[in-house]
Amino acid sequence: MKKISIMLMVVSLAFLTACNNGQKINGHTNKTAFKSVKILKNRLLPENRIEFEVAFWTIRDDIKDDKQFLSTVDGKTPEEIIAIAKEIYQQRKTAGVQEYTQYKTWEEMITRFGRERLEQDNRKSTKKESSQE
């Protein structure tokens, strides 16, 4: 009975560890990083997906060196990625970078990207419906 309890604890711990790793970016290579971002994005609530995606690509745009970029994102949760990107946003806005100064806040920028994505999706749906008629 004692062996079964220990075995059950080991299996449970392994399961929890495996699940936890799925909530973080695997930054060992660009391929694994991009794949894990895609998986993480799909696990997020729809209203958080665009913010996470924009945050990830903001970091990628800021850090051109692959090795440095991968070490920055490796093991990070979506919340940590967003926090890093918000810092980059603020630095760029303070530096007067046009793409960032046009927005009052990070949230305003994300809202605009969300609207643009929705418009793109609506256009794709309209084109698809038109081509089926």
pLDDT (tens digit per residue) in 20-62: 456 999 999 999 999 999 999 999 998 899 999 999 999 999 9
pLDDT digits (tens, 9 = 90+) for 100-112: 999 999 999 999 9
φ/ψ of 96, rounded to 5, equals 85, 20
Entry pTM: 0.75
Residue where the block lists tokens 């979506």: 78
What is each CA distance from 84 to 60, 105, 129, in whole angstroms? Answer: 11, 15, 40
Instruction: Tell me the residue type at 82.
Output: I
Q: What is the pLDDT of residue 68?
A: 98
pLDDT digits (tens, 9 = 90+) for 71-99: 999 999 999 999 999 999 999 999 999 99
Q: What is the mean pLDDT of the chain?
A: 86
